[in-house]
Amino acid sequence: MGQVLRKRITLRGFIIYQDFGPLYPAFAKAMTAWLAAGNMQYREDVVEGLERAPEAFIGLLRGENFGKVVVRVGPPATKAPNP
The phi, psi pair for 45, rounded to 5°, reads -105, 105
Answer yes or no: is 4 within a domain: no
Answer yes or no: is 58 within a domain: yes
Answer yes or no: is 64 within a domain: yes
Answer yes or no: is 6 within a domain: no
Average pLDDT, the chain: 87
Q: In terms of residue numbers, what domain contains 31?
A: 15-72
Distances (CA, A) of 4 to 1, 14, 29: 5, 18, 39
pLDDT digits (tens, 9 = 90+) for 38-57: 998 878 889 999 999 999 99
Predicted pLDDT of residue 79:
61
Determine the average pLDDT of the residues in 47-75.
89
Predicted pLDDT of residue 58:
92
pTM of the complete model: 0.47
Determine the average pLDDT of the residues in 52-80.
84
Answer yes or no: is 1 within a domain: no
Answer yes or no: is 53 within a domain: yes
Instruction: State how many domains the chain has.
Output: 1
Answer yes or no: is 46 within a domain: yes
